[in-house]
Amino acid sequence: MSTYSADRIMMSVGGVPVTGLAKGTFVKVEYNEDTWKLEVGSDGHWMRVYNANRSGKVTLTVMQDSPLNTTLSTYERLDRATRNSQIPFNLVDPEGGTNIVAAKAWVTKMPAIEFSGEATNREWVLESGNLDEFLSASGVPYEAPLP
C-alpha cells in the first residue's frame, strides 16, 4: 500500500518555502521539448535524434494571500530593473523521492490578477534553461536510481 499527501510536498523559490498552495493542481513541471525525436526518411528508414534541450517551465498556483506572491513579485520587478535576477526553484516529495531543481529560473510575466467575492488564485510561471529531475512514485519508499 502506498500513501500520498499533498501537504508533504516541499517547495522553495529563492530559498523561501512555498506556502498557501491552491486547492487542486498547485504545481506543474514540463519540459519545452521532447528528449527524443523520431526522424523517418523517404524510404522508411528511421533513426532517433537526441535533443539536449533541458529547458522547461514550472507553474505554481497559489492562493491570493500566499507569501509567494510577494516573493515572486519582488523578484520579477528586480529582474526587470537589473535584467539579472535568476532564482533557484526546488521541489521534493519526501514520501516518494521525486526531486526537481531549477538552479536558475525567472518569472516569465506577472500572473493574471483577479478579485471577486471569493478567494482567488494566482498562477506564476517560472522558466529555466535547465531543469534537473528525478521522478519517483509518490508514496513508495525511495530506492536509488540505476546509473
**pLDDT tens sequence across 26-54:** 999 999 999 999 999 999 999 999 999 99
DSSP, collapsed to helix, strand or coil, labels residue 6 as helix
CA nearest 58: which of 20, 91, 24?
A: 91
φ, ψ (nearest 5 deg) of residue 121: -115, 160
Calculate the CA 6 to chain-centre distance. Answer: 15
Give pLDDT, residue 3.
Answer: 77
Higher per-residue pLDDT: 54 or 2 = 54
Q: What pTM was estimated for this model as a whole?
A: 0.88
**pLDDT confidence of 79, banded at 50, 70, 90?**
very high
Cα separation, 11 vs 2, in Å, equals 22
> Which CATH code of 1.10.540, 3.40.720, 2.30.110, 1.20.1260 fits the domain covering 6-134?
2.30.110
